[in-house]
Structure 1
Amino acid sequence: MALFALGTSLCIALATLISAEVVKAVGGPMALSRWRMLIGFLMLAIIATAVGGWSSVSERHFPLILLSSLVAIVVADPALNAGIALIGARRTGLIFSLSAPFAAVLGFLVLGETLGLSQLVGCALVTFGIAFAVGFNRRPASEPDAARNSSVHAEVRLSAAGVLLAVLAAFGQAVGILSMRPVMLDHPDPFAVMALRGLVAVVFLWAYHFASPKTWKSGIGIPDRHTLARVSLGVFIGYVAGMSMLMIALTATSVAVASTLSSMAPVAILPMLWLRTGNRLAWQSWFGACVTVLGTAVLFWR
């Protein structure tokens, strides 16, 4: 089941790149979150209906689903998008990896989860590898390949607001994972659970939007079809596929292990950035990636 959490990290990495490229075109972080959740809910509702998963969700699950959606989506998703817009996808991904230690501590304090020595070492190696790979992936601006990167993925200066927003997103993700763990232990259909989380987010995000006087002055702001298609692709990869795999992983994996493996997105995003922008990666990136792979192997060792 832990492999599903690894799949989540790859999906989140690719979806983060897409978000970085469409966040301005769609109208900003809040607008991106609104459209992402609306499209994601529709996709998941169709899948849950097709597989007959609605009946697997019980009324006792609703409070935790509500909590998870409010904290991990309504608060954390716009914060993550805003962080990407302010400090870039790479740095936001690094800070977002703090969701792993946050979740491990919360899992211990709230759920009483304990980790064996190999799992503690594995989590530590994965977290260190992520920090090393992303935090030290810098190349001098004078290098020829750096000049080619004038896109939204270009390295930007750190800002306190961007860092705080990324930390808020990481904490929200940790709380969201923690609150879904008891729900997924009952083995409900993951698509139905994710659809309900998305529905709560849709109601709150769009209600907030329509409550603003600016909405009625400037209009709803429907993006063009090309932008909506890219948003839909990112939603399917990161939310429908990625987060559903994380829900499956939580049925048999502790919060700490699942969140650590799913937080490998910052490492996964580095070769994707290389392919997308043409910028070569520094040796520190490859070293950090190797440490992360080693940590993953230790997590699976018994």
Structure 2
Amino acid sequence: MRVTPWMEQQQFLYNITNIDNSMQNTQEQLSTGKTLNKASDNPLAVSEDMNLASEVQETSGYLSTISTGLTWMNNTSTALQGIISQLQEVQSDVVQALNSTNMSAGGQQGLADTVAQLIQGIYQTADQRQGNNYIFGGQASQTQPSTYLKKSPSDSPSPVPSGATSEMNYQIASGVSVSITVTASDIFLTAPGSSPNLQDTLNNIQSDLTAGNETGLQQDLSDLNANLTQVINLNADLGARIQRFTTAQNQLQQYSTNLTNEKGGIEGADMAQVITQFTTDQTVYTAALQMGAQILLPSLVNYLPNS
């Protein structure tokens, strides 16, 4: 078959176009650092890359939730430790009152006043907030817990609001939800075994100290020990949840790193290879133009770029 000048021109243009497209793709990889810049580059790899991007985004969402939950629980644990410390001081004062058989009326009243201040401090700690939310409020996090707790024997607290006994759960993985809260109801309104709840125990202590009721104080001390053990157990349970969140956070961070590395391996360009390819394409392009100038009509070559 006879090769005509027209056929040579068409073949030349076809080759030049392919080389030019290759140079453009390589140049785009140089500028973006990625091999996947549009879906047509590698449809299968692009699909896999998008799936990985979705997983990275989902993992990032869980990590953000866990971080928020850890902040909330750590603040709760700090407040609980404050309550425990103050309850232990109340416990010590009750023991002192029971062992001071010859205490004057003034000394007895002073001890009662000291315990009253400690109890007010306990309720003040129960009102601690994170942002605009009360950390012991449960799902009723906008309601101040001390408003529905009886802070002294003469108090008439408000009814416990809906949601005050309900915990807030955070989803830390697909299908896995964990409570981040300890509620004021758990601490003050839940009775341990046959003992009165902490709210009633504290009020009984105030009344019995003021009245010098030694028999009542003996029972109050027993009740306070049970209440204190309950609060310590609440803090221990919270500590276990903090540990669970921390473990999940570490695992998700490692998983996110692995996903990101895998994603980078799919879409990331080998810059040394890309630079070599671009240099090769430039050389081939220049050589093709020079060869074309020799075998084609000058009138055609005059209209082609020569760089």
Q: Same fold (TM over 0.5)?
A: no
> Taking structure 1 as the reference length, what is the TM-score of the superposition?
0.22
- Between structure 1 and structure 2, the one with the greater Rg is 2
The higher-RCO structure (CA 8 Å, 6+ apart) is 1
Which structure shows the bigger proportion of residues in helix conformation? 1
